[in-house]
Structure 1
Amino acid sequence: MTDATDQRNPRATVITVSDRCAAGEAVDVSGPLAQQMLVEAGWDVDVVVVPDERERITWAIMGAVEEKSRLVITTGGTGVGPRDVTPEATASLLNPEVPGIAETIRSVGVAVLPQAMLSRGRSGIVDGALVVNLAGSTGAVKDGVPVILQVASHVVSQVDGGDHDRLRTNQ
């Protein structure tokens, strides 16, 4: 007999970081787009909106992890503006940092839009969950979520003690 929990999709949380969306002055479009893409890939997804405040971002990430999200994607607050603090809020939690994911996302984005190189997004593990920062545009979500989905399930397996060999098909 299979345990009912074995049938559930993995949990993910998308955190939109935006002063204007948090204040109700703008409509969040990047968060729902990320949610749609993750749902289509088999994840159960919540979307949270917080202002560009380091403490609120940190709390949102930790709250998602405490609620058993295995993947947390932030959108917004990764640029060079004075209120862009998502990378700092995230970096304080990462253990370990996994820079290759963020580097690949930047690389993919730059091929479409040179300004993507200005994103300071981070990626890594927070208490068993993969956490990745994306810029706050729909373009960044369209470019970044597929990169994340290439490795998210493997990362979750690895932090749970899984084997590397399941990805090796030609050896």
Structure 2
Amino acid sequence: MSDEKTPPLAVVVTVSDRSAAGEREDAAGPRAVDALRAAGWRCEPARVVPDGEASVSAALRQAVADGARLVVTTGGTGVGPRDRTPEGTRAVLDREVPGIAEELRRRGAQEKPAGMLTRGLAGIAGAALVVNLPGAPRAVDSGMPVVLSVAGHVVSQLDGGDHA
């Protein structure tokens, strides 16, 4: 019998009409999965859903019901007509944690001016931290270190841990 604690579960949700329809390979989701696994989280392959508020909220609710402590979405955070990931996320969040989304936007804008157009949110849904990342693989590469820098602390806080 092992004394080792099972790593917490993370879920990645890729939001893309084209990837959901099989028209384009998901390039961003696997990068987020790899980063989570490298950081010691349990994470299955990314779940792919079409753009839209209802599909995002359903996927987030399912991830939380499955026991995820961290849910990262990729895609659907822009200003296009089908970009409704923030709206679907807001419907599931109990509390927003705006500092995470602000830092992601700040870093994204430093890399490329269009980075300030992302409307992604971050917050708490049940016992999980939920963070929206843009769908570009480069945005996932730069955003995951931000998410991972606080995710363990957030989970600890949600479990009643101290503020240290």
Normalising by structure 2, report the TM-score. 0.96
Query: Deviations for 1:123-147, whole angstroms, at most 9, x for unmatched residues?
Result: 0000010000000001110111000
Separation (CA, whole Å) in 1 of partners of 2:15 and 2:47: 9
Structure 2 residue identity aligned to 1:63:
Q
Pick the aligned partner of 1:19 from 17, 20, 25: 17
Normalising by structure 1, report the TM-score. 0.92
Task: Provide the residue aligned with 2:76 in structure 1.
Answer: 77
Report how far residue 93 of structure 1 moved.
1.3
Report how far residue 56 of structure 1 moved.
1.2
Indicate the SS of the match to 1:14. Answer: strand
Separation (CA, whole Å) in 2 of partners of 1:19 and 1:159: 33
Task: Provide the residue aligned with 2:6 in structure 1.
Answer: 8
Gaps of 5+ in 2: none
Matches within 5 A, 1:14-163: 14-46=12-44, 47-163=46-162
Structure 1 residue identity aligned to 2:133:
L
Instruction: Give the ranges of 4+ consecutive aligned residues of structure 1 lying more than 3 Å apart after TM superposition.
Output: none
Gaps of 5+ in 1: 166-171
Query: Deviations for 1:3-48, whole angstroms, at most 9, x for unmatched residues?
Result: 6xx5211110000000000000000010001000110000111210
Aligned residues: 163
Report how far residue 94 of structure 1 moved.
1.2
Q: What is the RMSD of the two structures over their aligned residues, measured on CA atoms?
A: 1.1
Q: Percent identity?
A: 55
Indicate the SS of the match to 1:33. Answer: helix
Separation (CA, whole Å) in 1 of partners of 2:107 and 2:122: 15
